[in-house]
Amino acid sequence: MAARPATILADGLWKQNPIFRQVLGICSTLAVTNLVANTLFMCFGVIFTTALSNLTVSLLRNLIPVRVRMMAQVLIIASYVMMVDILIKAVAPDIHRFIGPYVGLIITNCIIMGRAEAFASQNKPLASALDGLACGAGYALVLIAIALVREPLGFGTVLGYPLPARGLWWHQWTIMVMPPGAFFMLAVATWIARARFSAQEKTEGTEKKT
Protein backbone atom coordinates (compact mmCIF):
# COMPACT_ATOMS: atom_id res chain seq x y z
CA MET A 1 0.00 0.00 0.00
CA ALA A 2 1.96 2.99 -1.25
CA ALA A 3 -0.61 5.69 -0.71
CA ARG A 4 0.25 9.27 -1.53
CA PRO A 5 0.11 11.87 1.26
CA ALA A 6 -2.86 13.65 -0.31
CA THR A 7 -4.84 10.41 -0.48
CA ILE A 8 -4.06 9.60 3.13
CA LEU A 9 -5.24 13.04 4.22
CA ALA A 10 -8.45 12.89 2.20
CA ASP A 11 -9.20 9.40 3.47
CA GLY A 12 -8.76 10.37 7.10
CA LEU A 13 -10.69 13.59 6.83
CA TRP A 14 -13.69 12.45 4.87
CA LYS A 15 -13.67 9.26 2.82
CA GLN A 16 -12.77 6.99 5.70
CA ASN A 17 -13.80 9.39 8.41
CA PRO A 18 -13.32 7.47 11.65
CA ILE A 19 -16.62 8.47 13.15
CA PHE A 20 -19.00 8.32 10.20
CA ARG A 21 -17.45 5.54 8.19
CA GLN A 22 -15.77 3.28 10.64
CA VAL A 23 -18.03 4.08 13.63
CA LEU A 24 -15.09 4.29 15.97
CA GLY A 25 -14.40 6.55 18.90
CA ILE A 26 -18.03 7.33 19.58
CA CYS A 27 -17.75 7.48 23.35
CA SER A 28 -15.72 10.62 23.67
CA THR A 29 -17.55 12.21 20.76
CA LEU A 30 -20.68 12.20 22.82
CA ALA A 31 -19.27 12.99 26.20
CA VAL A 32 -17.24 16.12 25.56
CA THR A 33 -19.27 17.89 22.89
CA ASN A 34 -21.57 19.83 25.19
CA LEU A 35 -19.08 22.71 25.37
CA VAL A 36 -16.85 23.88 22.53
CA ALA A 37 -13.92 24.53 24.87
CA ASN A 38 -13.98 20.95 26.19
CA THR A 39 -14.13 19.69 22.65
CA LEU A 40 -11.08 21.65 21.56
CA PHE A 41 -8.96 20.22 24.34
CA MET A 42 -10.21 16.73 23.64
CA CYS A 43 -9.44 17.07 19.94
CA PHE A 44 -5.96 18.27 20.70
CA GLY A 45 -5.42 15.22 22.87
CA VAL A 46 -6.71 12.81 20.28
CA ILE A 47 -4.73 14.29 17.36
CA PHE A 48 -1.56 14.35 19.42
CA THR A 49 -2.02 10.75 20.52
CA THR A 50 -3.04 9.28 17.15
CA ALA A 51 -0.18 10.94 15.29
CA LEU A 52 2.54 10.07 17.77
CA SER A 53 1.33 6.58 18.61
CA ASN A 54 1.04 5.77 14.91
CA LEU A 55 4.59 7.03 14.42
CA THR A 56 5.91 4.98 17.32
CA VAL A 57 4.04 1.81 16.41
CA SER A 58 5.29 2.13 12.87
CA LEU A 59 8.89 2.64 13.96
CA LEU A 60 8.72 -0.42 16.16
CA ARG A 61 6.62 -2.53 13.82
CA ASN A 62 9.41 -4.93 12.93
CA LEU A 63 10.60 -5.28 16.50
CA ILE A 64 7.34 -6.16 18.23
CA PRO A 65 6.46 -9.86 18.15
CA VAL A 66 3.01 -10.46 16.68
CA ARG A 67 1.67 -12.17 19.77
CA VAL A 68 2.20 -9.28 22.14
CA ARG A 69 1.39 -6.67 19.51
CA MET A 70 -1.85 -5.47 21.09
CA MET A 71 -0.31 -5.17 24.51
CA ALA A 72 2.63 -3.19 23.17
CA GLN A 73 0.33 -0.85 21.26
CA VAL A 74 -1.81 -0.21 24.31
CA LEU A 75 1.27 0.63 26.33
CA ILE A 76 2.58 3.03 23.68
CA ILE A 77 -0.80 4.74 23.47
CA ALA A 78 -1.14 4.89 27.25
CA SER A 79 2.20 6.65 27.60
CA TYR A 80 1.18 9.39 25.18
CA VAL A 81 -2.21 9.78 26.81
CA MET A 82 -0.49 10.22 30.14
CA MET A 83 1.51 13.11 28.69
CA VAL A 84 -1.65 14.72 27.35
CA ASP A 85 -3.38 14.23 30.70
CA ILE A 86 -0.57 15.92 32.62
CA LEU A 87 -0.37 18.71 30.04
CA ILE A 88 -4.08 19.53 30.13
CA LYS A 89 -4.05 19.41 33.92
CA ALA A 90 -1.28 22.01 33.92
CA VAL A 91 -2.73 24.30 31.24
CA ALA A 92 -6.43 24.21 32.04
CA PRO A 93 -7.21 22.72 35.45
CA ASP A 94 -10.88 23.77 35.27
CA ILE A 95 -11.47 21.94 32.05
CA HIS A 96 -9.45 19.00 33.27
CA ARG A 97 -11.81 18.60 36.19
CA PHE A 98 -14.65 17.91 33.80
CA ILE A 99 -13.01 16.02 30.95
CA GLY A 100 -10.29 14.38 33.08
CA PRO A 101 -11.66 10.83 33.05
CA TYR A 102 -12.46 11.14 29.36
CA VAL A 103 -8.87 12.15 28.60
CA GLY A 104 -7.75 8.96 30.28
CA LEU A 105 -10.24 7.15 28.13
CA ILE A 106 -8.42 8.24 24.98
CA ILE A 107 -6.42 5.07 25.63
CA THR A 108 -9.45 2.99 24.86
CA ASN A 109 -10.55 5.20 21.99
CA CYS A 110 -10.90 2.69 19.22
CA ILE A 111 -9.74 5.17 16.56
CA ILE A 112 -6.22 5.16 17.92
CA MET A 113 -6.04 1.44 18.47
CA GLY A 114 -7.68 0.84 15.10
CA ARG A 115 -5.28 3.04 13.15
CA ALA A 116 -2.27 1.61 14.93
CA GLU A 117 -3.43 -1.87 14.05
CA ALA A 118 -4.74 -1.25 10.54
CA PHE A 119 -2.26 1.28 9.21
CA ALA A 120 0.80 1.89 11.33
CA SER A 121 1.72 -1.75 11.79
CA GLN A 122 2.10 -2.13 8.02
CA ASN A 123 3.34 1.23 6.79
CA LYS A 124 6.37 3.50 6.91
CA PRO A 125 6.73 5.89 9.87
CA LEU A 126 6.09 9.15 8.03
CA ALA A 127 3.01 7.90 6.23
CA SER A 128 1.72 6.50 9.51
CA ALA A 129 2.20 9.76 11.36
CA LEU A 130 0.34 11.54 8.56
CA ASP A 131 -2.44 8.97 8.69
CA GLY A 132 -2.75 9.44 12.43
CA LEU A 133 -2.87 13.18 11.96
CA ALA A 134 -5.55 12.89 9.27
CA CYS A 135 -7.72 10.54 11.28
CA GLY A 136 -7.37 12.68 14.37
CA ALA A 137 -8.31 15.71 12.33
CA GLY A 138 -11.30 13.92 10.79
CA TYR A 139 -12.43 13.06 14.29
CA ALA A 140 -11.84 16.64 15.45
CA LEU A 141 -13.90 18.07 12.58
CA VAL A 142 -16.94 16.02 13.50
CA LEU A 143 -16.57 16.78 17.20
CA ILE A 144 -16.26 20.51 16.69
CA ALA A 145 -19.22 20.53 14.32
CA ILE A 146 -21.38 18.73 16.86
CA ALA A 147 -20.19 20.92 19.72
CA LEU A 148 -20.94 24.03 17.67
CA VAL A 149 -24.55 22.89 17.45
CA ARG A 150 -24.97 21.60 20.99
CA GLU A 151 -23.51 24.49 22.93
CA PRO A 152 -25.48 27.30 21.25
CA LEU A 153 -28.73 25.34 21.36
CA GLY A 154 -28.25 24.11 24.90
CA PHE A 155 -26.62 27.05 26.69
CA GLY A 156 -27.05 29.87 24.19
CA THR A 157 -23.30 30.43 24.22
CA VAL A 158 -20.27 29.73 22.04
CA LEU A 159 -17.00 29.12 23.88
CA GLY A 160 -18.72 30.57 26.93
CA TYR A 161 -19.64 33.85 25.22
CA PRO A 162 -23.41 34.42 25.12
CA LEU A 163 -25.02 34.77 21.71
CA PRO A 164 -27.06 37.94 21.06
CA ALA A 165 -30.32 36.02 20.91
CA ARG A 166 -29.81 34.49 24.34
CA GLY A 167 -32.39 35.67 26.83
CA LEU A 168 -34.29 37.65 24.22
CA TRP A 169 -36.17 35.18 22.10
CA TRP A 170 -34.05 32.08 22.37
CA HIS A 171 -35.08 29.61 25.00
CA GLN A 172 -32.31 27.16 25.80
CA TRP A 173 -32.90 23.56 24.90
CA THR A 174 -31.48 21.95 28.01
CA ILE A 175 -31.92 18.57 26.39
CA MET A 176 -29.17 19.40 23.90
CA VAL A 177 -26.48 19.46 26.58
CA MET A 178 -27.85 16.42 28.33
CA PRO A 179 -26.93 12.92 27.17
CA PRO A 180 -29.96 12.33 24.90
CA GLY A 181 -29.12 15.44 22.88
CA ALA A 182 -25.70 14.01 22.16
CA PHE A 183 -27.15 10.79 20.82
CA PHE A 184 -29.67 12.56 18.62
CA MET A 185 -27.10 15.00 17.24
CA LEU A 186 -24.67 12.26 16.35
CA ALA A 187 -27.47 10.26 14.75
CA VAL A 188 -28.44 13.22 12.59
CA ALA A 189 -24.82 13.93 11.68
CA THR A 190 -24.24 10.29 10.75
CA TRP A 191 -27.42 10.31 8.68
CA ILE A 192 -26.34 13.37 6.71
CA ALA A 193 -22.83 12.04 6.18
CA ARG A 194 -23.98 8.59 5.12
CA ALA A 195 -26.52 10.04 2.73
CA ARG A 196 -23.69 12.04 1.15
CA PHE A 197 -21.52 8.95 0.95
CA SER A 198 -24.13 6.89 -0.82
CA ALA A 199 -24.82 9.76 -3.18
CA GLN A 200 -21.13 9.92 -3.99
CA GLU A 201 -20.77 6.26 -4.70
CA LYS A 202 -22.84 5.24 -7.63
CA THR A 203 -21.91 1.64 -7.03
CA GLU A 204 -24.29 0.12 -4.57
CA GLY A 205 -23.34 -2.74 -2.34
CA THR A 206 -19.86 -1.47 -1.68
CA GLU A 207 -21.24 0.49 1.19
CA LYS A 208 -19.94 -0.91 4.39
CA LYS A 209 -22.48 -1.70 6.99
CA THR A 210 -21.67 -2.19 10.59
Partner 1 sequence: MASSDMGLFSSFVLIFVSAAFTDNILLARFLGMCSCLGVSKKVDTSLGLGVAVVFVTASTAVLNYLVYNYLLVPLGIEYLKLIIFIVVIAAFVQIVEMIIERVSEKLYNALGIFLPLITVNCAILGASLFMLNKPYTLLQAFGFGLGCGFGWFLAITLIGGIRERINEAAVPKGLEGPGITLIIIGIMALAFVGFSGMIKI
Interface residue with partner 1 among 93, 162, 167, 179 (CB under 8 A) is 179
Using an 8 Å Cβ cutoff, are 27 and 18 in contact? no
Residue 126 binds to partner 1 (criterion: CB under 8 A): no
DSSP state of 203: S
Q: Which is nearer to partner 1, 159 or 187 (CB)?
A: 187
What's phi and psi for 162, nearest 5 deg? -70, 145
Residue 210 binds to partner 1 (criterion: CB under 8 A): yes
CA angle 156, 158, 162 (to 5 degrees): 50
Residues from 132 through 161 that contact partner 1 (CB under 8 A)? none
Instruction: For the CB of residue 191, give the shortest distance to partner 1 in the complex, in Å.
Output: 5
Contacts of 199 (CB under 8 A, 6+ apart): none
Interface residue with partner 1 among 39, 50, 58, 109 (CB under 8 A) is 109
SS3 content of the chain, % helix, strand, coil (to 5): 70, 5, 25
Residue 201 binds to partner 1 (criterion: CB under 8 A): no
Residues interacting with partner 1, by CB under 8 A?
Answer: 23-31, 70-71, 74-75, 78-79, 81-82, 85-86, 101, 104-105, 107-110, 113, 175, 178-184, 186-187, 190-195, 197-198, 209-210
